[in-house]
Structure 1
Amino acid sequence: MTDLADDAALAADVVREAGLLAQELREAGLRVHTKTNVSDVVTAADHAAERLVLDHLATWRPDDGVLGEEGAERPSASGRTWVIDPVDGTYNFVHGFGWWCSAIALVVDGDPVLGAVYHPHDDVLYVGGPDLPTTRNGEPVGPLADVELALACATTYLHPPFFDGEVGEAFARAVGGAATLRMLGSASLDLAAVAQGQVGVFVQHSVAPWDWYPSSALVRGAGGTARRITAAGVEWSVAGAPTAVAEVCAALTEVRA
């Protein structure tokens, strides 16, 4: 039986190693493969970093389940599952933009109890969860200041092709009341920025577990709110300052005559 501090130490170690390995492989040169579209890409670094994490977990947490973005999957014998994103922001990673990271979460009964995110470009490690105050390189980042949406920067990675129809209308309502909007290309780093109070609220629909669990745990560990709601026929993930989150959720579900 492990405690949360032991899990946090393991998560911190493996996510840092994964990020440094990916960075090293990028510097050596990469072959890029397209997955679903031109902005959805994968490299050998993604697979190598995921394999590194899997090997560590097989050694130190053999009874825990695993779910990775690049296809890794192992059933859980313990009721605990590690969710892995070896390189989050691969398009940025490939094109030399530093806004990418490695991320991992420990999920129990569908709830992330721990998240760890390493940002190699700035050599910054975030660790935290609902019962573990979020830290940045070991220093607390919270408590997160509460702000209303009108004073908050919103962040997303919703791509322009998805701005049409009901989904686009819901998104426009959600961010229309924000002070400004940023789209930087890494959900985990965007949410880490939310946890630090650098931006006010994250809003995105159809977020994969590996994009949501690691850093939504960081937001909660900093005193913020993380919610998932259905609107316009899709599930939205919203996290950040409690007041801004509540306003975004209200806007998403608003019924227009």
Structure 2
Amino acid sequence: MSSTTLDERENALHGIIRDAGLVALDCYRKRRAGEFSLKGRQDFLTEADGLVEARVFAQLRARFPEDSLLGEETGGGSGGSRLWVVDPIDGTANFARGIDHFCVAIAYVEDGQTELAATYNPVTGELYTARRGRGAAKNGVPLRVAATSTLETASIELGWSHHTPEGEYISLFTAVFSGGASVRRGASGALALAWVAEGRTDGYVEYFMNAWDCLGGLLMVREAGGCTGTFPVTSADLVMGGPVLAAAPGVAGHLAEVTGLPLMTRENST
């Protein structure tokens, strides 16, 4: 792709995600307690998810009709060389319960490489962005991962979903906690990865994430100088999902060891 065309997509992405955030924020402010349903165990569904995704898809189709779309709510295809991956509201449980920790997350993938990313929390006004080879930023200010060098001084966030058996999550928690780390859970994987890129936390691990939850955040971490696991290995992983690890370099090796998840290297990134 020419730089000009990628520039156009980057500019469009930043405008589209801010607009989507306004839709999400409006829904958030108008919601009433208990007005949500469950897709599965602790897997929340709100009307806002569908509204936000429809808004994003409509704008992307109007601007880039030749691109493929993949979203959490309406699915789509991962075929074609140009793909937008959309999570309309990540942190749906927080959204549904009135907790200001949720976001809209969008990534742009070309020929299997994540080229652009944006994660927006409309409540706080924090817009995290990244472009492959050009760094990551929050509201235009460059990001850098933390300089933490040991698990004993690290803050690590762990994610859980119904795809992961309870025993595996408990074992993961035990392994990280026993390594000396402070363990937290914020219930938004996309924001968790952005926080690693920002240096607010030192690492994030989840044994199963969908592509729309993590593609953009993984790019942000790498562009901010951090390390990530190997997901996604193939284009099929964009639909199937997989395990995610992201961390500051000083603790990445330790975290990979205690979790059993390999880190991306030059050899396995191609």
1:178 CA drift (Å): 4.2
Distance 1:93 1:61 in 2: 30
Residue matched to 2:266: none
Residue matched to 1:70: 73
Give the partner amino acid of 1:65.
S
Runs of 4+ in 1 over 6 A off after TM superposition: none
Residue matched to 2:252: 245
Residue matched to 1:42: 45
Does the 8 A contact of 1:144 with 1:222 survive in 2? no
Residue matched to 2:175: 173
Return the match for 1:33 from 22, 34, 37: 37
State yes or no: 1:24 paired with 2:31. Answer: no
- Write out aligned runs for 1:42-121 (5 A): 42-74=45-77, 76-77=79-80, 79-121=81-123
Matched length: 248
Does the 8 A contact of 1:64 with 1:75 survive in 2? no
The 3 A distance-change label for structure 1 pair 177 and 127 is: same
The 3 A distance-change label for structure 1 pair 6 and 146 is: farther
The 3 A distance-change label for structure 1 pair 148 and 19 is: same
Does the 8 A contact of 2:119 with 2:128 survive in 1? yes
Query: What SS does structure 1 have at the residue aligned with 2:230?
Result: strand
Q: TM-score, normalised by structure 1?
A: 0.87
Return the match for 1:124 from 126, 130, 150: 126
Residue matched to 1:193: 195
The 3 A distance-change label for structure 1 pair 202 and 51 is: same
Distance 1:108 1:146 in 2: 33
Q: TM-score, normalised by structure 2?
A: 0.83
The 3 A distance-change label for structure 1 pair 214 and 221 is: same
Unaligned residue ranges in structure 2 (runs of 5+): 232-240, 262-270
Unaligned residue ranges in structure 1 (runs of 5+): none
Distance 1:175 1:110 in 2: 35
1:76 CA drift (Å): 4.4
1:154 CA drift (Å): 0.3
Residue matched to 1:134: 136
Task: Kindly report the root-mean-square deviation, in angstroms, between the aligned alpha carbons of the 2 structures.
Answer: 2.4
Query: What SS does structure 1 have at the residue aligned with 2:209?
Result: coil
Q: Could you give the per-residue CA deviations for residues 126-172 of structure 1, whole angstroms, max 9, x where no partner exists?
A: 111431211111111226535332221000222698441x5643452
Give the partner amino acid of 1:208.
N
1:5 CA drift (Å): 3.0
1:175 CA drift (Å): 4.3
The 3 A distance-change label for structure 1 pair 40 and 111 is: same
1:65 CA drift (Å): 1.1
Residue matched to 2:264: none
Distance 1:147 1:106 in 2: 32
Query: What SS does structure 1 have at the residue aligned with 2:128?
Result: strand
Give the partner amino acid of 2:62.
T
Distance 1:33 1:204 in 2: 24
Distance 1:143 1:182 in 2: 18
